[in-house]
Structure 1
Amino acid sequence: MNWKLANGDVIDLLRKSKGEKYRLVISSPPYNIGKSYENDVKRSLEYYIVWQKDIADLIVDMIEDNGSLCWQVGNYVRSGELIPLDSIFLDIFRARGLKLRNRIIWKFNFGLNADRRFSGRYETLLWFTKSENYIFNLNDVRVPQLYPGKRHAPRKGADKAGKPSGNPLGKNPSDVWEFSAQKDFIDNPVWDIPNVKANHPEKTSHPCQFPIELAERCVLAFTGEGDNILDPFVGTGASVIAAVKHGRKALGFDKDNLYLSIAEERIRLLLEGNLPIRRLGTPVRRPSQTEKVSRIPDEWQSFSLGDSVDAAPQV
């Protein structure tokens, strides 16, 4: 079997795995916002940082010399103040010798609505490497060119004049990813992977589920077939699914047996060919103007921005 899941405290499990090496460590750690899968209650930010530093000390030693770390995070909110966690993790991992290659933006359409700040619709993924000698399989994650017939402008003496300006294998998806195979990659190149909400085919009971599609691109870009991958906060198994799907070996840790059971079932369904999964590179669906959800409700017809509305407060 080329995958394994383990239940327990993350630091204890990392210590037991000391000496093992991984080409890629990828995870979305708890954001410390009080979710049930975290610690049932919010830690102080200071305690959270110390805890994550202890984890980082163990993780960095487990990365192969030509390996990578992908750490996907959101924001911590304290007394209404938003603190981007990627700024904290940047310092944590750089202090341990890792080198930041990209700060990748993951954009999504749905989330909590706010009324005292703009509603957040993105999170970040930090890609670090252990050294200057690292794996980067760009050709495995290229996206289709929107204008394959575009050519370099004619310039006297220029070797490229009149020749196709794009790469025949596709376009580099950039550091702001949108999983649309055509227009959005060119006009608004964002990793627009739908977050896993009610109608998403991958939805489970986990409240902050990691999309398989996001993990897949990291697995393909930063590892080769047969490589070892570790996720210390595996949740419902997206990273392990991505690894197994593409011929890698994977180990996942989590303190919650319920989510590990879901992960195990999802991996079984994958191996049987029955796992509901959003295909890598599927364009983000936009509702047509004829759909009911796109039409302005009758109640809004006479409403203007200056009017007041009786509504439940939003955060």
Structure 2
Amino acid sequence: MKSPRNKTINISVEDGREYLDRCVRLDRPADINDILDKTILGDTFGVMPLLPREFADLIIVDPPYNLDKNFGGNKFKSSDNEEYTRYTEQWLDLIEPLLKPDGTLYVCCDWRSGMVIGNLLEKRFKVQNRITWQREKGRGAKSNWKNGMEDIWFVTKSNRYTFNPDAVKLRRKVIAPYRKDGEPKDWEQTENGNFRNTCPSNFWDDISIPYWSMPENTAHPTQKPEKLLAKLILASSNEGSVVFDPFLGSGSTSVTAKKLGRHYVGIEQSEQYCVWAEKRLDLAVTDKRIQGFEDGVFWERNTRPVKK
């Protein structure tokens, strides 16, 4: 029995058959109306050739890192850099034609896989930046530093692309407030403390990995936080844009896109993960909250005042 505070979504395929039935299975080329706001059940390498060309405004890719990992019974085995390069080139070949000429691509990676992925992206796209975000937790190591960071490559097809910096400002506490003529300068004084809304940088230390008491949490081994995805989606798309995730997992990209008024398309080969994704999409109809994002700003970790 789960604790009443444990909000982890762990519905089984058997109990979640109604959610699985909502997923699309493609066996022929599709147009945008066939896939818009859908979870596609299938192997992404077989599905992507069936998708319409240049349909996506924003693509967010969270591929298997070059690590041994079990994704719902689908095991990914680590390999040498040469083999991982071939694997990465395979999905890049399929993704590139799906992105609009003015579209944006974000690719998640760790420090090791990032060396391969970054070099390949530079050959195909315009590299705009590399984001580093603090995972907040990780296993200790006796012979190395604990891995507490991950990266996200930010690339575009051209120099014409969407970027909305005002939509992703971070609200930070002001420790030493500066005043001019007795009035706050570039900060806000509230009953809950002093705050400043700052422009986003390429280092994010305000992200919490989903855990058991968060409604977005599932048993997926590498689930990305909705707060992290919200930053990418708000910055690099507009309401009504199409956001595509070819390695959907438990649905975080699609769920966050839906909460933020975007269209979504996701591909996932695990029936279990598809059930969790559709369950979360169902919940997002009535609950559009994103933990750590409120009133149009992102709050530093553990600083948002609790509303009474």
Task: Name the amino acid aligned to 2:77.
Answer: K
Deviation of 1:31 after TM superposition, in Å, equals 1.0
Equivalent residue, structure 2, for 1:283: 300
Give the counterpart of 1:109 among 136, 139, 145.
Answer: 136
Deviation of 1:43 after TM superposition, in Å, equals 4.5
The SS at the match of 2:277 is: helix
Deviation of 1:267 after TM superposition, in Å, equals 0.6
Does residue 65 of structure 1 match 2:107?
no
Deviation of 1:166 after TM superposition, in Å, equals 7.8
Equivalent residue, structure 2, for 1:176: 203
Equivalent residue, structure 2, for 1:25: 59
Contact 1:27 1:239 survives alignment (8 Å): no
Task: Name the amino acid aligned to 2:302.
Answer: R
The number of residue pairs the alignment matches comes to 254
Separation in 2 of the partners of 1:276 and 1:145? 20
Deviation by residue 1:265-309 (Cα, 9 ceiling, x = unmatched): 001011122x785232343239xxxxxxxxxxxxxxxxxxxxxxx
The SS at the match of 2:197 is: coil
Equivalent residue, structure 2, for 1:268: 282
Contact 1:66 1:129 survives alignment (8 Å): yes
Does residue 10 of structure 1 match 2:44?
yes
Structure index of larger Rg: 1
Structure richer in strand, relative to its length: 2
Contact 1:201 1:276 survives alignment (8 Å): no
Contact 1:228 1:250 survives alignment (8 Å): yes
TM-score (norm 2): 0.75
Deviation by residue 1:123-177 (Cα, 9 ceiling, x = unmatched): 001111111111110111112365596479xxxxxxxxxx956899931121101
TM-score (norm 1): 0.73
Equivalent residue, structure 2, for 1:231: 245
Query: What does 1:232-247 correspond to in 2, within 5 Å?
Result: 232-247=246-261
Distance 1:146 1:272, change over 3 A: closer
Distance 1:131 1:166, change over 3 A: farther
Contact 2:41 2:274 survives alignment (8 Å): yes
Q: Where does the alignment leave 5 or more consecutive residues of structure 1 unmatched?
A: 76-83, 153-162, 180-192, 287-315
Separation in 2 of the partners of 1:5 and 1:232? 10
Give the counterpart of 2:266 among 252, 266, 269.
Answer: 252
Contact 1:233 1:254 survives alignment (8 Å): yes
Deviation of 1:178 after TM superposition, in Å, equals 2.4
The SS at the match of 2:71 is: coil
Deviation by residue 1:200-228 (Cα, 9 ceiling, x = unmatched): 44221111111111100110000011111
RMSD: 2.8
- Between 1:245-254 and 1:197-206, the stretch displaced more is 197-206
Contact 2:61 2:107 survives alignment (8 Å): yes
Equivalent residue, structure 2, for 1:157: none
Contact 1:23 1:229 survives alignment (8 Å): yes
Deviation by residue 1:57-102 (Cα, 9 ceiling, x = unmatched): 1212211121110111124xxxxxxxx2112111111111x11112
Separation in 1 of the partners of 2:127 and 2:166? 21
State the identity %.
28
Deviation of 1:41 after TM superposition, in Å, equals 4.5
Query: What does 1:1-315 correspond to in 2, within 5 Å?
Result: 3-37=37-71, 39-45=74-80, 46-75=82-111, 84-96=112-124, 98-144=125-171, 146-147=173-174, 150=178, 170-179=197-206, 193-273=207-287, 277-280=290-293, 281-285=298-302
Distance 1:132 1:177, change over 3 A: same
The SS at the match of 1:113 is: coil
